[in-house]
Structure 1
Amino acid sequence: MVAIARSTALAPRVAALAAPPTLRAGANGPSVVTLQKKLAAAGFNPGAADGDFGPKTLAAVKAFQQAKGLAADGVVGPKTWSALNAATAPKPPPPASSGGSGPTLRVGARGEPVRALQNRLNALGYKVGAADGDFGPKTLAAVKAFQKAKGLTADGVVGPKTWDKLGIKVQGPSTPPSSGGRVVTGYVNGVPRQISISSIPGGKSMRSDAAAAFTRMHAAASRAGINLHVNSAFRSMEEQRVLYQKYLNGTGNLAAKPGYSNHQGGIALDINVGGTGTSTYKWLAAHAKEYGFVRTVPSEPWHWEFRP
Structure 2
Amino acid sequence: MTKVAAVMLAMAVVFPIIGQDQASAYSWTRNLQEGSNGADVKELQIRVAGWAADSASKTYVSTDGAFGPGTKAAVIRFQKAYGLTADGVVGPATQAKLNSLEASDGSTQNFNFSEFQSKDGSGFSNGNVAAATVKENVRKLMYKLEAVRKKAGNSAITVNSGFRSLSHNASVGGASNSQHTYGIAADIVVGGYTPTAVANLAKSSGFSGVIIYSTFTHVDSRVEYPSYGASSYYWP
Q: Same fold (TM over 0.5)?
A: no
Quick check: which has more Rg, 1 or 2?
1
* TM-score normalised by L of structure 1: 0.35
* TM-score normalised by L of structure 2: 0.43
Compare relative contact order (CA 8 Å, sep 6+) and give the higher one, 1 or 2.
Answer: 2
